[in-house]
Amino acid sequence: MATVMELKATARPSVGKGAARAERRAGKVPGVIYGNNQPPLPISVEDRELRQRILAGRFLTTIYDINLEGKKHRVIPRDFHLDPVRDFPIHVDFMRLGEGATIRVSVPLHVVKAEGSPGVKRGGTVNIVTHTIDLECAVDNIPQYIEADVSALEISHSLHLSDIKLPTGVKSLAREDATLVTIVPPSGYAEELKAAAAAAVPGATPAAGAAPVAGAAPAAGAAPAAGAKAPAAGAKAPAGGGDKKK
C-alpha cells in the first residue's frame, strides 16, 4: 500500500518566469498544488530534498503530506520538469487528494522468481514488454509495484495481464490480454528444434552434407565412399545388368 512521506515547502509570494528564476538561484524549485476544487497554490521546495526524492524512485506514485507553514496538504506528484542540459528539477506539480478520492496512476512492474523459470534454466532470457501498469484505485490504496511471477514460463511463453492478481480495490486500465513478460529463446534454439524434429521422423531425408547412416546402401549413381575399392578393369557386369544378344 501507499506510504505517506513528509515534504517541506514554502509559499511563493509571486509567480512568473522572473520569480521562478529567482527561486532557482536561491536553491529552490518552484511548484504548484492544484485540484480538489480549490485555487492553485504556488510553492517552493528545497532543490536538494526534491532531487533526492526523485532519484529514490517511485516519486510519481508516492503520497506526500506537504508541510506548508504549519498546515499539511495531502498530495501526490503529477509531473516534474528537468533541465534539458544539466538534468536537475526546475518545476514540480502536486495534485491535492481529497478524502476517499480515486486516482489513476502508473505503477512499476517487478518480475519475480525468474531463476525458477524452466525457460530461463534452458538458456532463455526474461524480456519485460511492459514496465509499468496503469491502475485506478483509492488514494490510500496505491500499490508501490505489481509483481509478475514468471516461475512457470517456458521458452517462447508469455505472461499476460490476465495472469496477474491485483490487490483488492485496484482496477487495471489496460487490456486484459496485454503482454507483460516473455521468455526469449537463446541463440540457435530454432535450429535445435528443427534438428530434433527431423531426427524424430522415420525415414526422413538427411540434411545436405550429412553423413549417411552406417550400413546404408549408397544412392544410385553415388560416388564410392572414401577408401572403397573401384571395380577391376574388364570385370563383367552383374547378371541381368545388360541386354542379352538374341
Q: What is the pLDDT of residues 106-162, one digit of tens each?
A: 999 999 999 999 999 989 999 999 999 999 999 888 888 999 999 999 999 999 999
pLDDT in the model for residue 204: 54
Residue 175 has pLDDT above 60, yes or no: yes
The phi, psi pair for 84, rounded to 5°, reads -65, -20
Confidence of residue 211 (pLDDT cuts 50, 70, 90): very low
Q: Which residues of 72-91 are buried (b: 16+ CB within 10 A; e: fewer)?
A: ebbbbbeebeeeeeeeebbb
Q: How confident is the model at residue 187 (pLDDT cuts 50, 70, 90)?
A: confident
CA-to-CA dists, residue 45 to 12, 48, 71, 90, 241, angstroms: 10, 9, 15, 10, 102
For residue 140, the model assigns a pLDDT of 81
Q: What is the pLDDT of residue 8?
A: 94
Tell me the percentage of the chain whose pLDDT exceeds 70: 77
User: For 35-49, 56-70, 73-87, 196-210, which range has the lowest pLDDT when averaged over its residues?
Assistant: 196-210
Q: What is the pTM of this model?
A: 0.65
Exposed/middle/buried for residue 201 (C-beta within 10 Å: 0-12, 13-18, 19+): exposed
Cα(239)–Cα(26) distance, integer angstroms: 110
pLDDT at residue number 244:
46
